[in-house]
Amino acid sequence: NPTGSSTSLLVPATLPEKVLLKAQSELYNWRGCGMSVTEMSHRGKEFKSIIEKAESDLRTLLNIPEEYSVLFLQGGATTQFAAVPLNLCTPDDSVDYLVTGSWGDKAVKESQKYCKTNVIWSGKAEKYTKIPAFEGLEQNPDAKYLHICANETIHGVEFKDYPTPKNKTGILVADMSSNFCSKPVDVSKFGVIYAGAQKNVGPSGVTIVIVRKDLIGNAQTTTPIMLDYKIHNENNSLYNTPPCYCIYMCGLVFEYLLELGGLKEVEKMNENKAKLLYDAIDGSNGFYRCPVEKSVRSLMNVPFTLEKSELEGEFVKEAAKENMVQLKGHRSVGGMRASIYNAMPLAGVEKLVLFMKDFQGKAC
């Protein structure tokens, strides 16, 4: 198990083993400074060097242009569902949302509280298995931004390219929580990218926001100070006590992804893993089935069902015996879901595919 951390395969927030071992070795005394990262003042020179290095490595990884700020915040991506409209529009402004799964739907429900929110397309009627053709989308020319969820974690639907906002501002906003740093992204196409760290780049507790600098500074007057991008930008994410240890862990992951050769290499690894699993599903003569349209299948989250749905409980139970846990699909959709984030090694997916073939053999 060269890269994966856990003896349990397919856990939903795998971290690279190398990163965990490095954190372990530094836990008691960070690089000889006599303190653990958990004990440091967030205003001390040690932590300052940690957060600056994390930001600089993330900028290198994603090739983030100078005109964008990188913020390390708290409250999860869920808090950004509110922070985005609060920072980018007035209560009278309109915004467009393209809803390709339940996270996009949650973002809409939050945005509705702060501005006029239009759902310009929803995949709900088709159980969130598609992304529409962009040309046919009826965008509101007055919208302040167009919002997408780049990868729907529960439904396994991922944008392979991005719609061009046809509004006056041209601002595209993306929730990248579950595919952040899984492949290269042209940041300049977006006004705001936000992501909870806990899928691909660190432990839960830190949310990364990449925001074009000219969009900062116009928050609604009632915006809580903790949600105002301007405050965090002016204070380099140190307005209040940040999640220091999480930021440190993200920094270790960024270093590790750079060592792997950057996001192009990471993408290749993710493509190989996903192909193996989708091929196994598609080649099972209908025993397994992935409901998502082929062209938009996620490289990170692979939902699948069994033709004989009565065997699904047995499948999950047998897989758990082999240390493959968390395969049960989200309670809202049922079936199975394999999360194969960056740190999930190819060997983990190979093991799952072998298990699936074996299970099918026994069941038929």
Catalytic positions, written as ranges: 103, 175, 199
Judged by CB under 6 A, the residue of 16, 76, 85, 191 near ligand PMP is 76
List 57, 96, 175, 228, residue binding ligand PMP (CB under 6 A)? 175
Q: How far is the CB of 295 from ligand PMP (least distance, A)?
A: 20
Is 77 a residue that touches ligand PMP (CB under 6 A)? yes
Q: Is residue 237 part of the contact set for ligand PMP (CB under 6 A)?
A: no
Type of residue at 217: G
| 3-state SS string for the chain | CCCCCCCCECCCCCCCHHHHHHHHHHCCCHHHCCCCHHHCCCCCHHHHHHHHHHHHHHHHHHCCCCCEEEEEECCHHHHHHHHHHHHHCCCCCEEEEEECCHHHHHHHHHHCCCCEEEEEEECHHHCCCCCCCCCCCCCCCCCCCEEEECEECCCCEECCCCCCCCCCCCCEEEECCCCCCCCCCCHHHCCEEEEECCCCCCCCCCEEEEEEHHHCCCCCCCCCHHHCHHHHHHCCCCCCCCCHHHHHHHHHHHHHHHHCCCHHHHHHHHHHHHHHHHHHHHCCCCCEECCCCHHHECCCEEEEEECCHHHHHHHHHHHHHCCECCCECCCCCCCEEEECCCCCCHHHHHHHHHHHHHHHHHHC
Whole-number minimum distance, CB 300 to ligand PMP, in Å?
A: 9
Residues 6+ apart with CB under 8 A from 294: none
User: If we measure between CA atoms, which residue out of 106, 76, 107, 14 comes closest to residue 338?
Assistant: 14
Q: Is 167 in the site for ligand PMP (CB under 6 A)?
A: no
Task: Tell me the closest approach of the beta carbon of residue 279 to ligand PMP, in angstroms.
Answer: 25
Span from 13-21, 44-52, 71-79, 260-268 in contact with ligand PMP (CB under 6 A): 71-79
Q: Does 338 bind ligand PMP (CB under 6 A)?
A: no
Q: How far is the CB of 283 from ligand PMP (least distance, A)?
A: 28
Binding-residue total with ligand PMP (CB under 6 A): 10
CB of 27 to ligand PMP, least distance (A): 24
101 or 348: CB nearest ligand PMP: 101
Q: Closest CB to ligand PMP among 128 and 287?
A: 128
Q: Is 333 a binder of ligand PMP (CB under 6 A)?
A: no
> Is residue 252 at the binding interface for ligand PMP, with CB under 6 A as the rule?
no
Our finding on whether 196 is near ligand PMP (CB under 6 A) is: yes
Q: Which is nearer to ligand PMP, 246 or 356 (CB)?
A: 246
Q: Is 177 in the site for ligand PMP (CB under 6 A)?
A: yes
Q: Which of residues 194 and 229 has its CB atom nearest to ligand PMP in the complex?
A: 194
- Whichever of 73 and 353 has its CB closer to ligand PMP, that residue is 73
Only segment of 75-83, 214-222, 232-240, 309-317 that touches ligand PMP (CB under 6 A) = 75-83
Residues in the chain: 364
Residue nearest to ligand PMP (CB): 76
Q: Which of residues 135-164 bind ligand PMP (CB under 6 A)?
A: 149, 153
The CB-of-79 to ligand PMP minimum distance in angstroms stands at: 7
Q: Are strands 146-149 and 172-175 parallel, antiparallel or unpaired?
A: parallel
Contacting positions for ligand PMP (CB under 6 A): 76-78, 103, 149, 153, 175, 177-178, 196
